[in-house]
Amino acid sequence: MSADPLRIAMFSTATSGGAGAAALRVHDSLRLVGAQSTLYVGRRERMGHAGVVRLYEADEGRQPPLVPNFTIFSVDAPGIPDDVLERIIAEADILNLHWYARFVSLSNIERMSRSGKPVVLTIRDMNPLTGGCHFFHGCSNWKGDCSPCPQFFQSDITLPSAMLEAKQALWDLDNITVVVLSEHTRRIVEMSSLFARSRVETIANPIDTTVFRPQNWEEARREFGVSPQRRVIAYLPSFSSAVKGFDEAQVALRGVSREVAGCLLLCAGELGQTLDAGMDVVNVGFIADKRHLARFYGCADVTLVPSTEETFSNTAAESVACGTPVVGFETGAIAEIAQGKRGRAVPVGDTDALSGALAAILRSKKPAKTELHRYVAKRFGARDIGRRYIKLFDELRANMKADRVATGSNRVSGDGRREARAHLDVMMEQYLERGGHRTMGLQRLLNAAKLFLWSNREFRRKLREKWSTRLRLGA
């Protein structure tokens, strides 16, 4: 590690959700091992958390509607103002991007990559590799020019191609090191038209093994009202898109119900539609508290993770840390985690194999929970993950050539970059005209109001005093 603490500027649109929470854990891991990490976010969440700073000046812009049966699609946002970003870059040794969509613009990343400071991009979904989509849903056009795009709401506007072209032209790709969370994602990145020549390192998500650890089985079952005689499958449903495997889960569960008697499906999450599992289903609702979630894992015999696309799988790692094996498809880190006593991973989409793996786990002898926990603690411990990031950052900083500050490393000529930027501008104009300027203007007005309220402390103080007085008077 370097003599002076590394100053790391991390960027994540949010600190909630799987990707945002994972970025926050990386931030905490870096601070745990002595780095000066600042996590810049675009949305107000966990603002009391040490080292988390919201950039109120950042603008998400006008984002497209969701196409049914697909995940979100993100277009280039106005992003972080140049003066704000320059100040952040000047104060940092390393720039680390996580889930940045609708927060950091393509031009922001261009400026970062040509700043003379190393840029590390942690892949948390497929958006960095594409012209805007976040998961492939079976499409392979991201390997070329993202044309045609089945996930963009206006098929006659070639904005996805323009955004991918802009990434290829504007970014100094020789100064972007890619961090993947699993070997599965590494293989995907190596097929990318963007990052085929980039350095790729595998560093998994850190897991808090002081929270996710073996639970008292009897107490956990009593807490969730589950009989000790039942065979329990834990499932955290997410119906935001087909890639979370809801349909595959239903088919596999019905198969298990025919093979193993007395099964109970214990769900934690919002059931957006009827779940036909062929067995008793109990939904305990969304669980926000991590210790409560650990007890949820701890009362089950196996956890089902039916996602067809993943970059990691926090659910799989957390479940195994609690001593509960997992069954899922061979995507993300599931194939690496669900081995031996820790569970089973089967080919993506093979619901018969998924059902058979669940039945095999339910019939088998319960594994030693402490053994499963040791695996996660050794492989995904926060200190180890923090040190691995620091080792990479130190190496990148040491290898950075001085002349990059002035010139960068250009794969694309200046004329090529100007043409790509002009093409993107034209496509964005067409998109905004189709999407509606009034909505864009309203969003900017709201952003300006939020910025004023946040920046003007005296105004906020007087507003609080006036409101407190009205409450006391009963007005």
pLDDT digits (tens, 9 = 90+) for 307-326: 999 999 999 999 999 999 99
**Where is pLDDT greater, at 404 or 148?**
148
**Where is pLDDT greater, at 439 or 152?**
152
Identical topology for domains 7-206+384-435 and 217-379: yes
Predicted confidence band of residue 17 (pLDDT cuts 50, 70, 90): confident
DSSP 8-state class, residue 73: B
Give the domain ranges of the chain: 7-206+384-435, 217-379
Give the mean pLDDT of 48-58: 92
CA 147 to chain centre: 25
Predicted confidence band of residue 153 (pLDDT cuts 50, 70, 90): confident
For the cut 80, the answer to whether the pLDDT of residue 144 exceeds it is: yes
Report the distance separating Cα 312 and Cα 336, nearest Å.
10
Report the distance separating Cα 324 and Cα 366, nearest Å.
9
Predicted confidence band of residue 227 (pLDDT cuts 50, 70, 90): very high
Q: Is the distance from CB of 120 to CB of 203 less than 8 angstroms?
A: no
Predicted confidence band of residue 155 (pLDDT cuts 50, 70, 90): confident
Give the mean pLDDT of 404-414: 56
Give the mean pLDDT of 267-292: 88
Give the mean pLDDT of 189-218: 95
Question: 7-206+384-435: what fold?
Answer: Rossmann fold (3.40.50)
Kindly report which listed range (161-165, 171-175, 243-247) carries the lowest average pLDDT score: 243-247
Predicted confidence band of residue 288 (pLDDT cuts 50, 70, 90): confident
Q: Residue 322, CB half-sphere, CA atoms under 13 Å: how many?
A: 28
Check residue 449 and give its pLDDT.
56
Give the mean pLDDT of 220-239: 92
Check residue 9 and give its pLDDT.
98
For the cut 80, the answer to whether the pLDDT of residue 461 exceeds it is: no
Maximum alpha-carbon separation in the chain: 70
For the cut 60, the answer to whether the pLDDT of residue 97 exceeds it is: yes
Check residue 241 and give its pLDDT.
66
pTM above 0.85, yes or no: yes
- In 170-309 the beta strands, taken as DSSP E runs, fall at 176-180, 200-202, 231-235, 263-267, 280-283, 302-305
Average pLDDT score over the chain: 88
Q: Is the distance from CB of 182 to CB of 202 less than 8 angstroms?
A: yes
Report the distance separating Cα 387 and Cα 145, nearest Å.
37
Give the mean pLDDT of 165-190: 96
Q: Is the distance from CB of 57 to CB of 451 less than 8 angstroms?
A: yes
For the cut 80, the answer to whether the pLDDT of residue 442 exceeds it is: no
For the cut 70, the answer to whether the pLDDT of residue 408 exceeds it is: no
Kindly report which listed range (27-36, 226-235, 415-424) carries the lowest average pLDDT score: 415-424
Kindly report which listed range (115-119, 200-204, 245-249, 435-439) carries the lowest average pLDDT score: 435-439
Check residue 3 and give its pLDDT.
62
Dihedral angle of Cα 244, 19, 390, 196, to the nearest 10 degrees: 60
For the cut 70, the answer to whether the pLDDT of residue 466 exceeds it is: no
Question: 217-379: what fold?
Answer: Rossmann fold (3.40.50)
Give the mean pLDDT of 226-244: 87
Report the distance separating Cα 226 and Cα 241, nearest Å.
30
The residue type found at 184 is: H
